[in-house]
Structure 1
Amino acid sequence: MRKTRLFILLAVYLAVFTVSCKKTTETPRGKYAVGVFVVNEGNFTEANGSVGFYNPQDQSVVADVYAEENGVAPGGVLQSVYFYNNLAFIIDQVGSRIEVVEAETFKPVAAIETGLSTPRYMVVANGKGYVSNWGPFDSNFNLPESFVAVIDLNDFMVSKTIPATSGPEGLFVFGNQVLVAASFAAEVQILDTDNDSFTGKIDVADGPKTFVEDKNGKVWLLSSSYVTGAALSQLDAAAGTVLKSFPISSSAMRLAINGSGDRLYYLAAPFGADAEVKTVGIDATEDASEALITAPNLYGLGVDPASGIIYVGNHNGFQGNGTVLRYDGTTMLDSFAAGVGPNGFVFRQ
């Protein structure tokens, strides 16, 4: 009996010892796993767009990540960069192409070069990619051939196109639906991703551009029109209704939200001598009375969800490279060099 007990204890000890000695292997992360990506639009006439990278920990900057890793610049005029799992999609609006790269290394994976026409923004829903496309302007500067392209994420090809209301811009995923901002109209279209068709719309302020989601699951929409001015609207995406809407400026662009989801930031009057970064809480019913930041040539806007630091891109008149300014509230912390026309930021943690 004693021998049996000793044998059992020895077996347990060996099992524990074997498990404890096993080394845990972790897949090393790429050099661009954590940090801030800067989308540098580039000049329309020179097609010199780029994607920069800023590391807040050591304040190091990579001016052009793609060129750094692949020996050649991505080129084109970059509207946006979308990250999904281990991939990044670099959207060139003028070249009507999407370069797909590994998110943490920026090594090429694929290029989507057919089926697009002035692509703008992308989301993934229901296992498929959705890309807003303006299509060509007609002789009256309208966009009658706008559409949403559906991307097969296995072969990185456009599997179908869905005709859309003029100028589809920002996209927002809500369950199995994608909200599509029709920027040349006054509506948000509702796209059912099960059958890839539009099933309804929400009437909103003229010129809807971009969405963010607050801590309560409500969707905020920034609209801006040369005719009617700019507005912020809070939507109930589930009900397909506007909960509230109020004017914010004669014109506006860019919309961001802080990490806790209770404060909105937007770039107001961006085409004047001085642009303004304004902020309101999600309980607001009117425009902010004062600007948080006022500076010339502001073009891009983002808020680090972890630190709350505000990033703004200065295009410097598109005369050479731009600059990124970092603020803690109204206090400017520092700045770093960007590419041409920094129009947006992606924060990776």
Structure 2
Amino acid sequence: MKYIFKNQLWALVLLIFAFSCNDNGGEKPLGKYDTGILIMNEGNFGTNDGEVYHYDPSTETLTKDIFELENSRPFAGLVEDMVLEQDRLYLVANTGKVEIVNPGDFKSIGAVSADLDQPRSLATASGKLFISDYGPYDASYATPDSYIAVVSGLDGGTVKKKIEVSNKPEDLFAFGKYVFVAGSEESQIEIIDAEKEEVVKSLEVTGRPVQFFEQNGDLWVYSYDSDHVYFQSFHRDNLTKKEFRELPVGQATGRIALGEDSKIYIVTSSGWPEYQDGVAVVSIFDTTLIPDWTSGSGFYGIGYDQMRQEVYLSNANDFQGAGTVTVFGKDGTEVKSMEVGRGPSGFMFR
């Protein structure tokens, strides 16, 4: 499961300006989903009832199932990630497809619906889509045939090539002609040349890498193991490792959110059968470490609203019906709680 915050910083501009420029230099009103918060509800395995909700904090209005509402058909999949790039919103379903919508009105633009197995995330580079995919399970439920699927064009279509990578690729990050791949199972960062469509470099990192983010102009990857969390930055000019941070956060998960003042909120969990969950707060630039910012059980996703400085923490409620999202002030005080879809796991703040 990917955890959504990569678009937070530039999206703040949309909250400040009421209009945006079109290609002809004119101005057009923002669409009804161009502001507010998108809540990604993963859905339940087997019923494939994943969907996206929209929440307007200014009016406290929650709109359900906006993909089905705007396209007159259900999403019909498990939503793994939401990626906003190139004026398109990509809804990645780990049930084997990618739906592409206009982010302003959520109308369908296109899709990738064949030759995928278990997609995890997506990035765009050189006018192409690069989709991380676990590949099929073998008889032992391992994924030895993981790959990055390449699609020509940004509006979907067919998979033209599958680039072999290490097992269980998660997040992707593109800049220039390069695509960074977080290979979670084998602790690898693989770098793809988008023009050549091949891996040109592989870097070993500590822990299980799952999420890229930018901080102070640098590219970082977050990884974790049972006792620590790790942050590794990279030189973009020569594709080498740069700085490394290790912090003593036990029972960390891959679910993180980028807060203000370089703080990072991390969901922790003891796992089955106790399910003692919490949120730790760390910083990669000083010694800040708050191991028990809040605690509970059933935590499933986390996000941070940079504009309002609020933490959104979701609870899957054991996938028994609707999930819950609780909003906290950055001091940990509860602001409000709302019922959402099944398995809420990610947020996009616009």
Deviates more, 1:85-94 or 1:47-56: 85-94
251-260 or 175-184, which deviates more: 251-260
Residue aligned with 1:248, SS = coil
Deviation at 1:215, TM superposition (A): 1.8
Residue number in structure 2 paired with 1:136: 136
Alignment of 1:29-108 (within 5 A): 29-94=30-95, 96-108=96-108
Over aligned residue pairs, what C-alpha RMSD do you find?
A: 2.0
Matches within 5 A, 1:269-348: 269=269, 271=271, 272-284=274-286, 288-329=289-330, 330-348=332-350
The offset of 1:211, in angstroms, is 1.6
Residues 68-120 of structure 1: per-residue CA shift (max 9 Å, x gap): 222332121110111223321111112x0111111111111212111211101
Per-residue deviation, 1:284: 4.1
Other structure's SS at 1:45 match: coil
Q: How big is the shift at 1:155?
A: 5.4
Paired residue for 2:181?
Answer: 180
Cα deviation, 1:228-281, whole Å, max 9, x if unaligned, reads: 545222222435215223242134121221255x22121112634331111112
Which residue, 220, 229, 232 being the options, matches 2:230?
232
Alignment deviations for residues 134-162 of structure 1 (CA, whole Å, 9 cap, x no partner): 01111222211110011222552223221
Q: Structure 1: which 5+ residue stretches go unaligned?
A: 1-23
Higher relative contact order by CA 8 Å / sep ≥ 6: 1 or 2? 2
Instruction: Look up the SS of the partner of 1:27 in the other structure.
Output: strand
CA contact (8 A) 1:270 1:297 kept: no
Q: Does the CA-based 8 Å contact 2:212-2:219 persist in structure 1? A: no
**Equivalences for residues 108-187 of structure 1 within 5 A:** 108-153=108-153, 156-157=156-157, 158-187=159-188
Q: 1-side partners of 2:47 and 2:227: how far apart?
A: 31
Cα distance between partner residues in 2 of 1:267 and 1:183:
17
- 1:4: which partner in 2? none
- Distance in 2 (CA, whole Å) between partners of 1:105 and 1:113 is 21
Mapped partners of 2:106, 2:40: distance in 1: 14
The structure with the larger Rg is: 1
Who is 1:258 aligned against?
Answer: 259
Counterparts in 2 of 1:40 and 1:144: CA distance versus 1, 3 Å: same
Number of aligned residues:
319
**What TM-score comes out, normalization by structure 1 length?**
0.85
Residues 249 and 341 of structure 1: is their aligned pair in 2 closer, same or farther, counting only changes over 3 Å? same
Separation in 1, partners of 2:264, 2:176 = 23
Stretches of structure 2 that go unaligned for 5 or more consecutive residues are 1-24
Rounded Cα–Cα distance in structure 1 between residues aligned with 2:104 and 2:308 = 21
Shift of 1:289: 4.5
Give 3-state SS (helix, strand or coil) of 1:69's partner: helix
Tell me, yes or no, if the aligned pair for 1:86 and 1:104 is still in contact at 8 Å.
no
- Is the contact between residue 222 and residue 255 of structure 1 (CA under 8 Å) also seen in structure 2? no
Take 1:211 and 1:223, find their aligned partners in 2: how far apart are those partners?
13
- TM value normalised by structure 2: 0.85
Measured at CA, do residues 230 and 81 of structure 1 come closer, stay the same or move farther in structure 2, by a change above 3 Å? same
